[in-house]
Amino acid sequence: TRPIRRIAPSSDNDHLASIFEQMGAIKKLQKDTFRATAYQKAAAALRAHPSAVVSGKEARGIAGIGKGMAERIDKALEPPARAGGVKCVPPQPMREQVLESGHLPELEELKRDTDVVALRELQLVHGVGAVRAGALIGQGVRAFDGLQQLRGLRGPVSLDPAQRIGLRHAEEFRQKIPRAEARRHEEALLSARDASLPAMQLVVCGSYRRGKATSGDIDALVTPTDGATPASLLARWVDVLRESGYVTDTLAQGPSKFMGVCRLPDGMHRRLDLRSVPPEQFHFATLYFTGSNLLNVKMRLRAIELGMTLNEYRLERKPAVDGQEGEAVPAGSEREVFEALGMDYLEPHERG
By CB under 6 A, tell whether 217 contacts ligand DCP.
yes
Is 21 one of the binding residues for Mg ion (CB under 5 A)? Answer: no
Q: How far is CA 214 from CA 88, 181, 183, in A?
A: 18, 9, 11
Q: Which is nearer to Mn ion, 90 or 102 (CB)?
A: 90
Binding footprint of Mn ion on the chain (CB under 5 A): 217, 219, 273
- Residue 349, number of CB atoms within 10 A of its CB: 10
Minimum CB distance to Mn ion, residue 217 (Å): 4
* Distance, CA of 249 to CA of 251 (rounded, Å): 7
Q: Which stretch binds ligand DCP (CB under 6 A): 140-148, 214-222, 278-286, 342-350?
A: 214-222
Choose the stretch contacting Mg ion; rule: CB under 5 A; options: 185-193, 204-212, 234-242, 260-268: 204-212
Binding of residue 181 to Mg ion (CB under 5 A): no
CB of 218 to ligand DCP, least distance (A): 8
162, 163, 289, 331: which one binds ligand DCP (CB under 6 A): 289
CA-to-CA dists, residue 203 to 109, 212, 323, angstroms:
40, 16, 35
284 binds ligand DCP, rule: CB under 6 A: no
Tell me if 282 contacts ligand DCP by CB under 6 A. Answer: no
C-alpha separations of 85 from 78, 100, 173, 257, 345 in Å: 12, 12, 22, 28, 20
- As a three-state string, the secondary structure of 106-127 is HHHHHCCCHHHHHHHHHCCCCC
Query: Distance (Å, rounded) from C-alpha 10 to C-alpha 16?
Result: 13
> Which does residue 15 bind out of ligand DCP, Mn ion, Mg ion, none, counting CB within 5 to 8 angstroms by kind?
ligand DCP
Integer angstrom CA distances of residue 249 from 6, 69, 211: 15, 38, 27
Q: Which residues bind ligand DCP (CB under 6 A)?
A: 14-15, 89, 91, 206-207, 215-217, 219, 273, 288-289, 291-293, 296
Q: Which residues bind Mg ion (CB under 5 A)?
A: 206, 217, 219
